[in-house]
Structure 1
Amino acid sequence: MFPYLGLKASTDPRQIDERLQYQPTVFEFYTQADDVTPSGLTHLRAMIDKVRNSGVQAIVIHHPMSYLHYHNEVAVKASQHPRAYDFVMSSTENLIEVAQEKDVQLLVHGAYNEESAKIEAEFGSIDAARTLAFKRLDYFQSLGGDHVMFENSISPIFDFGNPVVDQLVQQRGYRLAFDVSHAFIVLRGDNTLLQESMRLLGPQVVHYHLVDSMGMTHDSLPLGTGAIDWQGAASMMNPKATNIYEIDLNDQYDSREMRESHHYFSKIWRQEHDAM
């Protein structure tokens, strides 16, 4: 029953073993560029089997965040950045194949956090960059179907809470991964607007990244230590979705901050739903 103890880790067996001892219901692999090489994909498949054999059924692969020290943007011009374009396309296609083969989910970022001025300088306008990003996401959706989902960003290309983007993802019927902190930062710490976006997109959300923030920068705080109204947010969440706690850890081999966040939010969820 939602919320789940959802933990993330790299494909490092030591990190995975630390998470599995707490018997999570949801496990998310935070992959890197090395994980989508031929040997990396073989290892990823083995680690998926390891997690599933431990009893975890809900498994998510998080597409690599960066390539060549830059964010792995789906809105990348093939003519100007051919290596980055080849990577984002081939890695996503290969991971969709793994997701379908292993019957797991692939999470792809619609964008990351490029500044508006940089986007406009390269594409001419935000709209032009967004059009390219949605074209790529349409393709990945057609390829991956129910095995792919798209996560919101801080970038204006794919920022939930932005009425234009919210409308576009509704029109396309995308399966969504809703990062609560990203939307909160986009909305400059406005809990009312956050909850409205969560309500609007809730029926399409299949996975949540639960993480706190002060609403200013990408701070990735444990739940209850930032400015998000979690009781209000809980009332807008889709209980049919899965979730993980995407918290910055002091030690990558100790998931304590994620587990403490789950304890905090579980109490909030019970309070909210017991009152209904």
Structure 2
Amino acid sequence: MREIIVGGKKIGDGHPCYLIGEIGLNHNGRLDIAKKLVDVAVEAGFNAVKTQRRNLATLYRPGILDETETADKGVQYVMPFLKKFQLPDRDLVKLKEYAESKGLDFLCTPFDFESYEYLVNELGIKCIKIASVDLPNLPLLERYISSKLPMIISTGMSTEEEVNNTYKFLKSKGAEFAFLHCNSNYPAPFQQINLNYMLKMKEEFGIPVGYSGHELGIAVSIAAAAMGANIVERHITLDRTMEGPDHAASLEPTGTKKLGRDIRCIEMAMGRKERSLSRGEVMNRQALGKSLVAARDIVTGEKLSEKDFSTMSPGDGLSPQKYKELVNVNIKRAMKKGDIFLASDISGTAGECFSNVSFKYGVIARWHDIKFLLDNFKPTILEVHMTADDMNHRPDIKEQVEPELVVHMPEHYGNILLDICSRDEEHRVWSVERIREAARLSVEVAPLFKNTPKRPKMVVHPGAMSVDSFLDAKEVQKLRDQAQRSLDELEGLEVEMMLENIAPFPWYLGGQWYTNYSLSSDDMLELVKGRDYGITFDTSHMQLYCNWKGLDIVEEFKKVRHVIRHLHVSDASGIDGEGLQIGMGNLPWESFAPYMFDGEMVIMPEIWLGHLHGMAGMNEALFKLQKMWDNINGNKKV
């Protein structure tokens, strides 16, 4: 499908629904009311507001303006309002400036050529919204095409033949345009709206298609968005009982806000044409699901049969769907009745840690895991993922050990998140001090780890999260400014900070949050530009961001490759299913792995609950990563 661009926003499939608040004549000729309607659209999260301009002297035939009694009833009804409620041009200028100052695009419908010339050449509109009445008006449309501006055209009051003819005409002229399905009754009866025709236009025309609604309530407009409308336009008013022709079929502020909210919720809910697990589902799967377990005591070397296993909760072991793959396996470890089977029992790697891999890797641990990990693995890096309580403890190590130490400082202290981007100055200063505190700990314990550089590395989450929803652009800019202020204050820190990219919908403190910054590769480049440290690239977090925004993780990785100092590796699903086992999500490993294994980058598997059952999750990740490495490099060792 082709796209159009209005105000820098792409409109078409794969992009958010473009929401237009049609002010029309509902300002009743008053600039103060028009500005209040702009505020309503801003509050509702709309993208644009629209009004209208007419030169009545050139729009209507001679005699109609002064002798409306000779016209039909429709003209007799509407003409007094058109005369009374026209905004003067000086107010249109002020309204456009006000709307744009609030972050909205300003649209205006010209009903005649003189109005078109004023709006394009003097007012400077960036998109022409064409009313239903002018869809068949090919001479007027041809003049509009000369502006090279995108056009949004409503289709009410037109036959299907007229819609098809106008489409062919505009295509032949190379115009950039979108159609809005519309029923031009005020209000439009539900049984006459025919949303399925909107779908027909999308299928046949290959252009952005939306819906301009005049019905009562918001249900149909929400349905249109769910069906794939690229644009939704609704008349908005302060009060449906006000004088004027359009108020009764318009949305009041509460309805406008609900419409904007519900359409954005639907967009998030639509997802993609593939099944994925959310973070909550993964947690519930582990807690409530079932695993294959030993039905009896089993000794090493026994050949398994279907009688040797049953299913029990929790679901932290091998899925019951894999039971056929266990049949006839010679088990490589002893098991007690009730012990869970693992994927490594099928692969034949159970009973030993899969540590002899062809690439440099690290392990992620807590202080109390270090001895087990060093006894069973051969990591290049040992990353200690700290909690607030861990800050009061030190590793129980008597002699210096080989791996490099990386400290991952706490993400929260009690119910307070670390946030160097916080708009609350006290919180920001507190976060900076916590980083200094973690840096001092890193320097203190670093000598216990032989290969740790003089300036140890430390993983830090920048923060920038909000609880209820994403912040608007102005508030996000404040977060960016605060981040730079914090980083300025941390210059000369005795450790090398490695700022980690964060998932868009992370889970903290028992709930889901919204990340406003430190999401994209561009964010991360901005954070470290001109500074003497790099980033921690988290594959799971970045894939979630790419799933959300329709991006390619390979391209995001290539952007920041030169500033990556640390690499967390796990899979991802949907927009919040993070930390999944390799191959359990939708990260495109076939295209990503060659970049991941290129060079001296140390691979850090970070599998959620990967520490359970003797690091079974990490063990499985190393096994799968080794298979990827073999596919890329053959069977040679580094």
Q: What TM-score comes out, normalization by structure 2 length?
A: 0.37
Report if the CA contact (8 A) 2:419-2:431 is conserved.
yes
Report if the CA contact (8 A) 1:119-1:129 is conserved.
no
Secondary structure at 1:55's aligned position in 2?
Answer: coil
Report if the CA contact (8 A) 1:208-1:243 is conserved.
yes
Structure 1 pair 273–108 and aligned structure 2 pair: CA distance change class (3 A): same
Question: Aligned-pair distance for 1:232?
Answer: 1.6
Q: What is the match of residue 538 of structure 2?
A: 179
Report if the CA contact (8 A) 1:111-1:152 is conserved.
no
Report whether the alignment pairs 1:151 with 2:509: no
Structure 1 pair 189–268 and aligned structure 2 pair: CA distance change class (3 A): farther
Residue type of the partner of 2:402? G
Matches of 2:611 and 2:525 in 1, distance apart? 39
Structure 1 pair 139–243 and aligned structure 2 pair: CA distance change class (3 A): farther
Q: What is the match of residue 244 of structure 1?
A: 604
Question: Aligned-pair distance for 1:263?
Answer: 1.5
Structure 1 pair 4–86 and aligned structure 2 pair: CA distance change class (3 A): same
Structure 1 pair 250–234 and aligned structure 2 pair: CA distance change class (3 A): closer
Report if the CA contact (8 A) 2:541-2:578 is conserved.
no
Report whether the alignment pairs 1:232 with 2:591: yes
Structure 1 pair 251–144 and aligned structure 2 pair: CA distance change class (3 A): closer
The 5 A counterparts of 1:55-70 are: 55-56=402-403, 58-70=404-416
Residue type of the partner of 2:442? A
Q: What is the match of residue 270 of structure 1?
A: 630
Among residues 434, 447, 450, which one is paired with 1:91 in the alignment?
434
Question: Aligned-pair distance for 1:220?
Answer: 1.1
1:115-173 CA deviation, whole Å, 9 max, x = no partner? 683544xx95211112212332344353246x321111122311134x4x154146335
Residue type of the partner of 1:168? E
Report whether the alignment pairs 1:199 with 2:558: yes
Structure 1 pair 118–151 and aligned structure 2 pair: CA distance change class (3 A): same
Among residues 397, 407, 420, which one is paired with 1:74 in the alignment?
420
Extract unaligned runs of 5+ from structure 2: 1-356, 447-453, 504-514
* Structure in which a larger fraction of residues adopt helix: 1
Among residues 458, 469, 487, which one is paired with 1:117 in the alignment?
469
1:188-217 CA deviation, whole Å, 9 max, x = no partner? 167862101111111111110001111321
Report if the CA contact (8 A) 2:579-2:608 is conserved.
yes
Report whether the alignment pairs 1:32 with 2:32: no
Question: Aligned-pair distance for 1:89?
Answer: 2.0
Structure 1 pair 250–55 and aligned structure 2 pair: CA distance change class (3 A): closer
Secondary structure at 2:619's aligned position in 1?
Answer: helix
Residue type of the partner of 2:609? L
Secondary structure at 2:519's aligned position in 1?
Answer: coil
Higher mean displacement: 128-137 or 169-178: 169-178
Structure 1 pair 224–240 and aligned structure 2 pair: CA distance change class (3 A): same
Matches of 1:234 and 1:115 in 2, distance apart? 34
Structure 1 pair 230–16 and aligned structure 2 pair: CA distance change class (3 A): same
Q: What is the match of residue 221 of structure 1?
A: 580
Matches of 1:31 and 1:128 in 2, distance apart? 29
The 5 A counterparts of 1:44-63 are: 44=394, 46-47=395-396, 49=397, 53-56=400-403, 58-63=404-409
Identical-pair percentage: 20
Report whether the alignment pairs 1:17 with 2:371: yes
Q: What is the match of residue 108 of structure 1?
A: 460
Residue type of the partner of 2:408? H
Question: Aligned-pair distance for 1:112?
Answer: 6.4
Structure 1 pair 117–216 and aligned structure 2 pair: CA distance change class (3 A): closer
Higher mean displacement: 255-264 or 15-24: 15-24
Question: Aligned-pair distance for 1:223?
Answer: 0.8
Residue type of the partner of 1:27? L
1:49-102 CA deviation, whole Å, 9 max, x = no partner? 56x83432x2110010112313212212454xx3x4454222211222333452
Structure 1 pair 74–2 and aligned structure 2 pair: CA distance change class (3 A): farther
Matches of 2:600 and 2:549 in 1, distance apart? 25
Matches of 2:491 and 2:634 in 1, distance apart? 37
Matches of 1:152 and 1:2 in 2, distance apart? 27
Structure 1 pair 198–33 and aligned structure 2 pair: CA distance change class (3 A): same
Matches of 1:105 and 1:169 in 2, distance apart? 17
Matches of 2:440 and 2:540 in 1, distance apart? 29
Residue type of the partner of 1:172? G
Question: Aligned-pair distance for 1:252?
Answer: 4.3
Matches of 1:243 and 1:111 in 2, distance apart? 24
Matches of 1:235 and 1:111 in 2, distance apart? 30
Structure 1 pair 270–95 and aligned structure 2 pair: CA distance change class (3 A): same
Max Rg structure: 2
Residue type of the partner of 1:194? I
Report if the CA contact (8 A) 1:71-1:112 is conserved.
no
